[in-house]
Structure 1
Amino acid sequence: MAGRLKAPTGRYGGKSAAQRQAERRGRFLAAALQLFGDTPGYRGTTVAALSETAGLSTRQFYEEFRTLEDVLAALHLQVNDWAEQAVVDALADGGRLPLAERVAALFRAYAANVTSDPRRIRITFVEIIGVSPRLEEQRLARRAHWVDLICAEAQAAVARGEAAPRDYRLAATAFIGSVNGLLHDWSAGWVDASLDEVVDELVRQLLGILRPPGWRPPGAQDS
């Protein structure tokens, strides 16, 4: 199909065309979370099945999306946005906490959001893999965004004298890989630990990156 069908315009049922479009899109994404994130998964879902689950028609689907890949792309971004907002909120609430407590709050917020629904983990770490070069580029771009966030927070900690001054990009990239791998393996039942234990391990890893052996905060006194 060359492009989306033209959506109706004007008000209907007290809602504007934009409101109706946002509502339809939300219903398709909710249906995609259900089908892509559980059974039958992205590769086993058809436009007809997605539309039926959303309680909408296939014509309405093509008014919002061109392909099912477009839906997966939008859902992947939405799930990441939810997690990022949880982290941003945690940083805002815990901005004055000591570094160790701030890092713990950040990862507890992230882990709680991502693992609150197993389907989110599947969308983020499973269904998005190997679909197309376009989605692989999007996945890596979102990973790079998380790396940027870690680097920014690390440099803020450096400025406060809480962390060792260094270029954190390589370490942050490796750390994000650890986060993704450990949470995926935990959700799949391959890690015999509680979520709190998983988060505690990630916190220890990040604190070890920020405060390597031998480094001391400026002005610290030898014991």
Structure 2
Amino acid sequence: MAGRLRAPTGRYGGKTASERQAERRRRFLDAALELFGGDPGYRATTVAALSEAAGLSTRQFYEEFRTLEDVLAALHLQVNDWAEEAVLTAFAEAQGLPLAERVTAIFRAYAANVTGDPRRIRITFVEIIGVSPRLEEQRLARRSRWVDLICAEADTAAAHGQAAPRDYRIAATAFIGSVNGLLHDWSAGWVNATLDEVVDELVQQLLAILRPPGWDAPTD
């Protein structure tokens, strides 16, 4: 039979069917973060192993997901949502600060969220790569959201005379590539620097994009 198995309905143990389903899904995603983001990794994990780690049955797995790829897709979105939430909170708190301070606060929030758990880095930058065209499309779509966010901030800064007016999409896309690569390499121990030094370097790169040589801020 195509599709997932039908989950039971009704109230049991004081919880509704939807509450039990949400709890099962959370347990599967928590277990996936541990196995996909740690040892043995997504490609070496089986449905049986994931179900055992979640303390659930394989039948319950198929009530929530069709394949392990579905789990990885959901986990990748969740990890990105956590980072995006941290960034949007920093955005709100940094309103009114000078551009350099605002950018620094935002990137510190992003870096702290992503690097605070090595499993999240592995999900975002390693395990998602090369799995399938579907997940590659999802990865690029989420990266595009980060590009949109940077472009929006750049446009706002330009409107206030704090940055050069221009189309920032290409530059923002290149910058996101730098962010992903540097944070991955730093987390893997290939960059001999503190996280603050990494963030400072990224901030300087972004400020150089926003305020290129030869551009002078309006004096009025």
The corresponding residue for 2:10 is: 10
The corresponding residue for 1:175 is: 175
Counterpart mapping for 1:143-154 below 5 A:
143-154=143-154
Structure 1 position 2, deviation (Å): 2.0
Q: Which amino acid aligns with 1:24?
A: R
The corresponding residue for 1:37 is: 37
Whole-angstrom CA distance in 2 between matches of 1:101 and 1:2: 53
The corresponding residue for 2:71 is: 71
Structure 1 position 103, deviation (Å): 0.1
* Cα deviation code 1:78-105 (max 9, x no counterpart): 0000000000000000111110000000
The corresponding residue for 1:204 is: 204
The alignment status of 1:52 with 2:52, answered yes or no, reads: yes
Structure 1 position 141, deviation (Å): 0.6
Q: Which amino acid aligns with 1:205?
A: Q
Whole-angstrom CA distance in 2 between matches of 1:167 and 1:61: 46
* Cα deviation code 1:35-83 (max 9, x no counterpart): 0001000000000000000001101000000000000000000000000
Structure 1 position 192, deviation (Å): 0.5
Aligned residues: 220
Q: Which amino acid aligns with 1:186?
A: W
* TM-score between the two structures when normalised by the length of structure 2: 0.99
Q: Which amino acid aligns with 2:81?
A: D
Counterpart mapping for 1:43-122 below 5 A:
43-122=43-122
Q: CA RMSD in A?
A: 0.8
Counterpart mapping for 1:185-204 below 5 A:
185-204=185-204
Whole-angstrom CA distance in 1 between matches of 2:117 and 2:219: 45
Q: Which amino acid aligns with 2:206?
A: L
Whole-angstrom CA distance in 1 between matches of 2:73 and 2:97: 36
Structure 1 position 114, deviation (Å): 0.2
Structure 1 position 118, deviation (Å): 0.2
Structure 1 gap ranges (5+) = none
Aligned identity (percent) is 83
The corresponding residue for 1:25 is: 25
